[in-house]
Structure 1
Amino acid sequence: MGRVEFWNDPEAPKANSLVPACGTVTVDEQGHILLQRRRDTGQWALPMGKMEIGETPSQCAIRETYEETGVLVEVTGILGIYSDPGHIVAYTDGEVRQEYEVMLTARPVGGAPEANDEASDVRWVAPADLAELDIHPTQWRQLNDYLNGAFPHVD
């Protein structure tokens, strides 16, 4: 399923759903950040996804990070809650979602980066190399909050 993201765009479609999602900013011992290249947009992103009934935000973030990257993580803190009504994600199935993301900080404890059904590439990226990648502005907001120590962030 494809998707298009809008941020503070007056042409964005009107949201018809609000779904909690959780993800991580996972950082290794060298300070590299775990990123995936999304198959649906081709952009680099932090691992995150839809929370399932019966999960806590931490359980969701750990599961989604592992599913999307192959890396098992341990949560170390909270980066923030991102719920900007100006961030809209339109899916090809007709769902138009308003952002609601709980982002946690994490460290790797197992596994290895590997491509999968959702990610065409997964890698550890040095902060100095982030500018070379195609990263959506809303992901930059989260990355910058982490890099600048501006957390926890709450919309």
Structure 2
Amino acid sequence: MSKATRRIDYWQDPSAPKPTSRKTSASVFVRDDEGRLLLLRRVDNDLRTIPTGAVKKGETVAQAGVRECREETGLDAEVTGLVGVFSTPDHVIVYLHGDTIDEVRQPINICLRARLTGGHITPQPSEASDVGWVDPADLYDYLIHPALRTRIDHGLHSTEPYIT
């Protein structure tokens, strides 16, 4: 039986392992007509997040964001703008397979604004254990990593792109 990949996120932690890679991911900040935010619960660390994933060879950042939203939530989205570029070295992610470290990543995330265009909420079991719409006033009821919380807060409260 193979062990699942786990993820440990570090934030502003001087004892975090040193990064061995730097990779780009795309995330989408999607709100519905009632102003609720699309969130999912990751299966690899049990934290809430917006749809996010790696930008693959041969695709644009926008294509990656739309693809990740569909894969993780079952919902179709269309990119409408930019929340920001998040590249702080304060965030380090350790990927483990069993007890073995596969990678220590310092991420670069490009967070895109998007609008819902279709689909039905269908969590992908390998990606998300739960998907739903959350009222921004209720966000503090959810476990959200500080790096993701920065993206969400900026998406909620600013119209200018964030760049760090």
Asked if Structure 1 and Structure 2 have the same fold, meaning a TM-score greater than 0.5 normalized by the shorter chain, the answer is yes
| Residue 22 of structure 2: aligned partner | 18
Matched, 1:98 2:102: no
| Residue 112 of structure 1: aligned partner | 120
Structure 1 position 146, deviation (Å): 1.2
Deviations 1:52-108 (Å, cap 9, x if unpaired)?
Answer: 011111000000111011110000100000001111000004200002000000010
Q: How does 1:54-73 map to 2 (within 5 A)?
A: 54-73=58-77
Rg comparison, structure with higher value: 2
What letter corresponds to residue 139 of structure 2 in structure 1? L
In 1: Cα distance, 2:68 partner to 2:123 partner: 14
> How big is the alpha-carbon RMSD for the aligned residues of Structure 1 and Structure 2?
0.9
Matched, 1:88 2:92: yes
Aligned with 2:153 (options 141, 144, 147): 144
SS in 1 for 2:67: helix
Deviations 1:94-141 (Å, cap 9, x if unpaired)?
Answer: 200002000000010011222222100000111111111111111110
Give structure 2 stretches of 5+ with no counterpart: none
Aligned with 1:131 (options 133, 140, 143): 140
In 2: Cα distance, 1:43 partner to 1:70 partner: 19
Q: Which moved more, 1:106-115 or 1:55-64?
A: 106-115
What letter corresponds to residue 24 of structure 2 in structure 1? P
Give structure 1 stretches of 5+ with no counterpart: none
Q: Which moved more, 1:143-152 or 1:52-61?
A: 143-152
SS in 2 for 1:124: strand
Q: How does 1:31-42 map to 2 (within 5 A)?
A: 31-42=35-46
Query: Alignment length, in residue pairs?
Result: 155
Structure 1 position 151, deviation (Å): 3.1
In 2: Cα distance, 1:112 partner to 1:130 partner: 22
